[in-house]
Structure formats: C-alpha cells, structure tokens
Structure 1
C-alpha cells in the first residue's frame, strides 16, 4: 500500500455524505449522555467510574490548536511533548503508559496498529464538539489497551438549516492555521464536511541554534446520518483523513544530545466507520458496524528515504440489547460480538530485513454489559472474553456501584476492574534490524485497579465537585532493555508497578456568562519501589470563560505541571525536571454579525520548561485570528 492509495481511500470515505460518533443522537441529546460509559450511551450521572466531559465552550475558552493541550486541563492526565508543534506527543492517563489508553475518534479506534499508541501531535481542535474521558481499567468494555482508561473525541454533527463557517489565524513562529465547515440537512438526514490546515516554521528543537523544525497538518472530516426506517434503522457514516509532516533533530552520535540535522516524518492516517443501528419495540435495540484504521508513516534523513511502516486495522462489531423497567427498577443489558484484524508491514530501509517485518494479528471477543438503577441505587457490571491468535485468551471484568443522596444532592461511587494491553508489533518483531530486536515471547501487560469517589452538586452556587481516590497494580510491564553495543529489545518486568492517587475536579457557573473549571491530581507511580519517569506527582489546571458583553468573549487557562523524573541518555542517569506553569488566553470580539476577531496567547509567562530531556520547547506566542459563521 502506498500513500497514494491511502489518500484515495480517504477521499472515497469523504465523498459519501459523511458521520458522527457511535450514535445518531443530536449534540443536544449527547450533552446528557456519555458515549463511552457503557456499551451503549448512558447518562453521565449513571456512570460509576470517574468520567469527565469537555464541551465546546471549554474548548473555545482555552483556544488551543491541538487536543493534547486541551487535555492538560483534565484530572489524571499528563502530557509529554518532544519539542514544538508536531513533536511526538504522549498522553498518560493515571500514570499508565501512552499505549495503555484507548483513543477513539467518532467511534473508530485511532491508535497506531504498530504500537497501540495514538499520536496526539496530529490531532487539531478544529471541528471537535466534545471530549469524553473515562478513567481506570476499562478493558471489559473496550478491550486491549484500556488500562489507564478511554478518551473519545466527538466531532461536530450536521443538522438543521444549512450552516457555513470559516476561520484563519496567524502569529508566532510564522504559524498559520485555518478551517472551514459546511453542515445541514440532507433530505431526512444530516451531514457535515470540514477541513482544517496548520503550518508553522516551528523552533529548533535541538537548541543548537540551527534550522527550525517545522510542522504541517491537513485534516478532512465528514459525517452523515440518515433514518432508513425511522428509528428502526439508521445509517451512520464517518470519515476522517489526516496528513502531517513534522521535522525534527536526531541524536546522530548517540551521546544523548540532539544534533542539528534534517529529519522528516510524513504520516497519513485514515479513520472510517459505517454503522446501522435501530431502536425496536419493547425497548430492544441493535447496532452493527465496521471500522477501518490506516496509518502510513515514512521517515526521511537529509531528504532521502530512511524507513517506513504501514498498519491497517479492521474492526467488525455487532451489538444487541434491551432497555426497560421491571421489578421497580430500570435495566440495561447489552451483548457484544467483535472481530478485529490488524496488519503490519515495515520497511526498515535495509534490504533482506526478513519476513518478520510483515505480520497479521487477529482478536475476537464477546462481552456483556449490564446496568441497574432503582431509586438511589446504581449498579454497572461488564465482562469480556478475548480470543487472540497469538496470546492466551483472557477474561476481563469491571463492577461499579453508586448511591445517590438526594437530600444533599451527592453521589457516592466505587468500582473495580481489570485491564490488559497486548504487546505492540514493534516490540514483538523489532523495527530496525540489527538495532532493536523484537521479542515474540512477550506476554500481555495486565492491571487490576479500584477507585472510590464522591460527586457533589451545590445548587445555590451552581457548583459541581468531584473527588476520586484510585489504586492499580500492573504486572508483566513491557520495557526496553539496552545493551552496551547499542542494541535493545523488549522484555516483561518480573516486578509489579503500583499507581495510586487523588483526582479533584470542580465546575462553577456563578453567572450565565461566566464559568470556571478546575482540576488537581496527586499521583504516585512506582515500579518496584522506584518512581517512574514522565509522571509528575502533581498537576493542576484552571480554565475560565466569560462573556462580559454581547459581542465580547474572554477565555483563560493555567496548567501547572509539578516536578517529574526523566532519563538523561547522555549520562544514563535519572534527573528531575523542574515544575512549570503554562498560561494561555484568548479574547474575541464580534465586530459584525457572524464576524469575530480574536487575539490569542500561549505560554504567556514565557516559561523555559522541559517535557522531555534534550528537546527545546516553545516560548511565549501570540496569534491573531478572524472567523465567520453564516
């Protein structure tokens, strides 16, 4: 498969009136639901795990160009970015590794088939309606990789009268970004089509005073939903295409420090999904779907091809369930059958690398998900059995309970469950022949965790509070073992990793025109008693949005990242990275109907901070923008 074929596939997906998430609900209906809280969307108040929804107002108030920066404002999340725009960006949830969190975009599992890790550097905020975050071991619902939890990106659906919008912004680092969208009714259905582009000269990530490392990104997104037989049969289609080129600097002489050299990574990603779902008499419902993920990554050194990898994931699901009331209680029961096939092909740039660079892995699964609500009592229970053609079959489960205290408008909740992450194809079979040697004997990682929490509503203040304590224990953790001759391989640890912490969240709406959201996380993440790297013990965030007048809006954010450890590869020692605070703000003024001018700032304190040792980060930046809605 070539990049041309990937592009053709993307255009084919988007040429069909293109969709939206796992449900045909409107965005207004979704405001009361969380798509990933169960095998069928359920009210957020019925979830017994720790969950957060970031809406469009919060995204707009922060003004960030990329989803990873929005996620900095959520409890339990740590972000590590290697350099500036386009640098490898990893998101760790509750101290888990970056490949231990399932990431969905409109219902499609978007992580790389090679590593199980999603590249957040390529995910823009343009056209994103909301972000759902479900924390804790969730493999009983979402299969492999859901150890830290699940992140679901939901794009804006179409519907209503035809609407049009466009925006452009330019500023520091010779950065330009723009977006456009059209949406509306198509007969009885609804559709939307959007495009966004980002281009920046960036910074010199090596810090050696050499050439700047730029980044380009183009994203196309489409959705289409149509009632074939009313509610009894609804067709839902979604398509997304991402094309990115990121320049970077390598460590040529292996001394642990980056050298100013010309390296380029070009990535094409295609995500597509087709679903048929319906609600039948008596509370019965069904959904059948097929999802496709394609990732093509090519690396270039000094303008010449170096290596490439291609991955494809096909996912077929069938769900059937019942929602109803019996014995003075509300019930929900959903059964799932799933089949997933992942194909991998790698070109390490060395002739005769061997057939192990082309592999295929198949995983089938069955699952049951049950929900119970009676008066103040809540119960959720899930169980899943995975049948893998390479690893031992595994059963994962999760049970949660809650109790609503109506007199004080509070809810107590607790849950316990298991998670599993299968080894990635690079870990199993290697990537660079003669350098990183694969280990086909690797065993899946598995984790058991529990949490207890309290959610409190304070009506007189229009204030929502949430507090959660969690613990988890990870076994068979996969790590990279380095040899003196610069070769390396992947191994399972014989010791356990333990993670525990406290997550606090607050959302205050003192006025219709003002909101303030806050989050604080205290985390301990240890491997055999030693603190793990790139996991700050303390993170905190404040986000505020205010409309002081009809045509004005102001947004501001502050994200605090505490001290954290990292490995200095020049010495082989572990060192402490200093804490930092990133402050951002955006001001918008609607100077004419539908027209808005904006001024936005990032890192306004001009913090000289480090996320990953050896990589320079961006200083203070200012951007001016113009948008139109019609």
Structure 2
C-alpha cells in the first residue's frame, strides 16, 4: 500500500510541474535498432559518454553503471572477479550484452563475463531498460547494454597511465589514422593489480592482469556504399579463492565486417562476425593443461533493411542467424546449435501521438521456438513532455550447461518467458529534467538447480519457479550554481512467486546522488550511493551500505590532464554476496595526453 501511494505522489508531482526549453538532442540506436532522438524513444535509455568515462576513471564497467537507475550489481571480489548485473530485478543472465552490435558471451554460462571488459576500450555505452527480445531475441528480458569501442578521427590520439591502491597500474593508448582512404582507430590497454583477499577462507591477495587491443574502421565507396570493420582481443588472468581451482585465464575475441547501402529513404545493412569466449581454470596444484576449459564460438550473420515511409514513420525488417559452438573439458552431449531470428519493427508519430511496435520469431535448435513482441503508445504534451504505456514479452533460452552438463543437465528444459508492462514519463522543468518509470514484470519457467527427488544428493536444473518484479526508476538532473546534479532512485519488490521469498542479492532500495563542478582548469566530481538490505542464499542477509567516491582533475593545457580518484572513501566494510570481500578505500592518480 505504501508503494502504491508513492507511485501516485510522484506521478502527481511530475504532471503538475512547469515545462522548460527543449533539451539538446542525443541520438541513440540500441532501443529500436534505428537511430532516434533519445527523448522520443518510448523506453528508459541511459547514455554513458567518453567524457563520463574520463571523469570518473573507472576500473571496471560496473563503475560506469553505478549512477544508472534500475541497475544494481554484485562483485564476488575485485574488478576482475565474477560480476553480476541485475537490471530491473531480473537475473544477471537476463540482460543482453552487445559490443558494436554483436552478441558476445559464453553459451555454457549463458551470459557475458562483463568483468573482462576494459573501460579504456569503451567510447560509449547505451543502456536500454525493459524487454527488447522482440528486436534482439534471447536474454533481453531486463534490458540491453550495448558497448561501442573507441572511435577517433584521423590524427587524433590519446595516451594515458595511472597508479593506485593495491599496486594497481594501468596504461592506455588510442589513435586515429587514414589508410588507403579508410578511416581507422587502434586502441591498446593494459592493467595489473595485486588485488586483495577475495574471501577470508584463503587469506591471500587475489590479483589480476589483463590487456586488450582493438581496431575499428570504415571506408566510403561513393555516396551510397560503405564498408566497416572491427576487431577486439581481450586477454587476462585473475586469482580467486576456491577449494578446487583458484586461478583463471581468459581470452576473448570479436571480429566483424559490415556493409551499408544508403539509398536515401531505404538503408540496407549486412554484418558478418565471430565472437569467442574462452575460460581456463587451474591452480591449487592443478596445471593449466589439466584444469577446466570452456570455450564458446558464435558465428553470426545479421541483415536488415530500414525504410522511412515518410518523415514520421520508419519500418525495419531483419534477420539474425547464429551458429553456437562449445568446447569443454567435460564431456557434453550436444556441442553445437543454430539460432534463427526474424523480426519487424515500426516507429511512428502522428501529431502528438507516438507509436512503436516490434515482433520477432526465434527458433533455437534442440530447444524450442519463441515469438515475442513489444507495443508502445505515447503522447507528447509538448516538445518537452512525453508519457507512454509500454508492453513487451521476452525469453531466455537454456544454456548448454543447463541442458547438457554431465553433472546433471536436463534436456527437457524450456525457455524462461516474461511479460512486462511499464508506465514511462519524461520531461524537462525550468530547472530539472525528469525520467520516471513504473513497471511490473512476470517471469515464468525460471530455471533453478534442485534435487532430482527429495533426499536425492544429485541436482539438476528444472523449470521450477516463477517471479514477479515491481519497481520504480527515477532520474532527476539539474544544473544549479554551475554545479551539475543528478539523483537516481530505484525501488524494487522482486519476489519468487513459488517460494514467496525475495530474489537474492537485489536491494529493495538504491539511491545515488552525483555532482560535478568545473572551474577554469579544474573539474571536481563525486557520488554518494546507498544500497538497502538484501537477501542471499540459504536465508543469509546482506546488510545495507553507503559508498562515497570522489574525483578531481586539473587540465594543464588543452592536451595534458592529471586526475585523482578516491573510491569507497568512507572505507566501508560491506559485501554484495555472502562470503566475499569487497575493496576498501582505494585512491590513485592518472595522467592523460591527448590532442582533441
């Protein structure tokens, strides 16, 4: 009842507020696979720019997502250890991760190890909250996170390095150049840290070392045809505390070639690529050649046609084809499957009314087929106020481990399915911009590992549970006295409908306040976040905590900048998962030389 009262109170306050001038346009592409003004998209979309990345000097991708409403995360140790992202209360494997439009991750785990990504390789991130399976297929129940790699103009460059707590050292370099008429960007990064003890059971420092290199380019052939390409290689190793293995190497790569034919009102797009995710566990007396090995290779082909019927209506038709192959040190009954997806989408505007619709059919070999759709209807009170009602369905296909693991796979599993209804309000007042979303998500056929029978010590995955997630996301942004302010709030009620228990590791409340101030050559910023209590496995409780992060930078001239950072400045002792430690106070210094 209190939560319903809060819904009404916030909505009433927003609808009675005055309107300000039209906001500056920010263009996004992830929400509907067509380029749109962010404000006109009938979904909650957050954009993290290169300027944001430089401002907070992140060690991991989750540092970048911390200020985003509707997103919480758990790190089982440091920046390189297992990280789970929960978007709008959904499971961490119910969020789709894309890199430059390509699907990445492990088909055995059923998700991307996002901790493997280096922030210095990132140019921009688009975070779309809410179901997008009608355009992307499996996994996009909670939302989509698309990461765009570095993209510099010819003759632009940057060099950077830093050092901080836990003997953490890093470097990065990127440069844009022309070659035979093509435009290219090459980027390289490396990081090494002694880390800290991930658990108290094995009190030693669990360090990591990682590096990445990427190449991205494009070539224009006349006025109509263009080609583009990208390649990314990530390599690293990290320590963790485990009774069996306690070290892991990873090697991931992504290559993609695309071509675009821009015919004016019609744009044709074709992409072909391959992503590979390889994890090798060892340690505790186990050699690399004798440890666990899990490798996923995804060969993918994507084609679509976008047609602007007129200035107000755009339609997209497309197909995504995948061949997923896995290789494992454990014997597996089936090691390959194909996934075919065909979709259609429409965005339109008539006067003050807006509409979005999408439908998709997916066929997953050896599993099932699914049809998903999204429908959105919106109304613009003015150029600066938009309200919409959104409905979408989604699904998550079982992973290879779920289906075929020699330790208890279940080939009778069906995909997890979901439906979500959302009320979305966007607006700009005289002093503040607002985005408010209230949503309800129901998920059926949740896959959980459970005993084969009561008293049986053998476990197997089963479509055992269902869940209901109710939530509110709120973002307020303003500029007062030359200080940029942002307040985000996440209220969540995520319940397993079968057991009547809270879904684990999801705080019911998260609040973040961030501020930044620039004066002459100085820039100072910081954020304060609060996460409420949460439940963990076997009835354990995760206690609430608050974190304070501060950042400062001084630009000596247009090319050279020195920045300092301090994370967890209050030195809070907290845990996102029972039994795992997190970093205490961390401070460091970075330097950047760039010519743009």
- State the TM-score, normalized to the length of structure 2: 0.91
Point out where structure 1 has 5 or more consecutive residues left out of the alignment: 1-29, 253-261, 568-572
603-612 or 205-214, which deviates more: 205-214
Q: Are the counterparts in 1 of residues 164 and 588 from structure 2 also a CA contact under 8 Å?
A: yes
Residue 346 of structure 2 is aligned to residue 381 of structure 1: no
Q: Is it true that 1:227 corresponds to 2:241 in the alignment?
A: no
Q: Cα deviations across residues 124-165 of structure 1 (Å, max 9, x unaligned)? A: 211422211111111001100111110111123122x40121
- The question of whether the paired residues in 2 share the 8 Å contact of 1:519 and 1:542 is answered with yes
Distance 2:201 2:397 in 1: 39
Corresponding residue number in structure 2 for 1:313: 298
Paired residue for 2:176, among 176, 183, 196? 183
Deviation at 1:31, TM superposition (A): 6.7
Does 2:253 align with 1:270?
Answer: yes
Instruction: Return the alpha-carbon distance in structure 2 between the equivalents of residues 175 and 115 of structure 1.
Output: 29
Q: In the TM superposition, what are the counterparts of 1:258-337 in structure 2 within 5 Å? A: 263-281=246-264, 283-302=265-284, 303-304=286-287, 305-325=290-310, 330-337=312-319
Partners of 2:174 and 2:50 lie apart in 1 by 16
- Tell me the residue number matched to 1:216: 209
Matches within 5 A, 1:81-480: 81-159=75-153, 161-186=154-179, 188-208=181-201, 210-230=203-223, 232-251=224-243, 263-281=246-264, 283-302=265-284, 303-304=286-287, 305-325=290-310, 330-348=312-330, 353=331, 355-356=332-333, 359-406=335-382, 409-430=384-405, 433=406, 436-458=407-429, 460-461=430-431, 463-480=432-449
Contact 2:105–2:276 (CA<8 Å) still a contact in 1?
A: no
1:586 to 551, 571, 579: 551
- Cα distance in structure 2, aligned partners of 1:416 and 1:227: 39
Distance 2:547 2:177 in 1: 38
Contact 1:423–1:442 (8 Å) recurs in 2: yes
The structure-2 alpha-carbon separation of the partners of 1:76 and 1:599, relative to structure 1 and needing over 3 Å to count, comes to same
> Shift in Å at residue 536 of structure 1?
0.7
Q: The residue matched to 1:477 in structure 2 has which SS? A: strand
User: Which residue of structure 2 lines up, in the alignment, with residue 625 of structure 1?
Assistant: 590
Residue 489 of structure 2: aligned partner: 520
Output one character per residue of 1:454-507: Cα deviation in whole Å (capped at 9) or x when no partner: 11112x32x2101110001001000111576754221111x4210010000122
Residues 68 and 522 (structure 1 numbering): CA distance in 2 closer, same or farther, change over 3 Å?
same
SS at match of 1:112: coil
Work out the CA distance in 1 between the residues paired with 2:363 and 2:403.
Answer: 18
Structure 2 residue matching 1:133: 3-state secondary structure: strand
Superposed CA deviations along residues 268-307 of structure 1, whole A, max 9, x for unmatched, are 00112111012104x1111011121101110002251321
Alignment match, 2:13: none
Gap change, CA 1:515 and 1:55, over 3 Å in 2: farther
Aligned length: 565
Aligned-partner Cα distance in 1 for 2:457–2:125: 41
Cross-structure match for 1:599: 564
Q: Aligned to 2:48, which of 54, 62, 65?
A: 54
Matched-pair contact (CA < 8 Å) for 2:257–2:271: yes
Equivalent in 469, 493, 496 of residue 499 of structure 1: 469
Instruction: Find the residue that maps to 2:39 and give its secondary structure.
Output: helix
2:589 and 2:528 mapped to 1: Cα distance? Answer: 20
Contact kept, 8 Å, 1:85 with 1:214, in 2: the verdict is no
Shift of 1:525: 0.6
Cα deviation, residue 616, structure 1: 1.2
Q: How far 1:174 sits from its partner (Å)?
A: 0.9
TM-score (norm 1): 0.87
- For 1:113 and 1:588, how far apart are their aligned partners in 2? 41
Which consecutive unaligned segments of at least 5 residues does structure 2 have? Answer: 1-23
Q: Report deviation, 1:360.
A: 0.5
Distance 1:164 1:58, change over 3 A: closer
CA-atom RMSD, angstroms? 1.8
How far apart are 1:340 and its partner, in Å?
A: 0.9
Residue in structure 2 matched with residue 43 of structure 1 by the alignment: 37
1:513-536 residue CA offsets vs partner (Å, 9 max, x unmatched)? 642222110001111222110111
SS state at 1:428 partner: helix
- Distance in 1, matches of 2:451 and 2:564, equals 47
Given that residues 178 and 197 in structure 1 are in contact (C-alpha distance below 8 angstroms), is that contact kept between their aligned partners in structure 2?
Answer: yes
Q: Cα 1:209–1:476, aligned 2, differ >3 Å: closer, same or farther?
A: closer
Secondary structure in 2 matching 1:443: coil
- Distance in 1, matches of 2:174 and 2:421, equals 42
Q: Is the 8 A contact 1:60 1:555 kept in 2?
A: no
Name the SS of the counterpart of 1:393 in structure 2.
Answer: strand
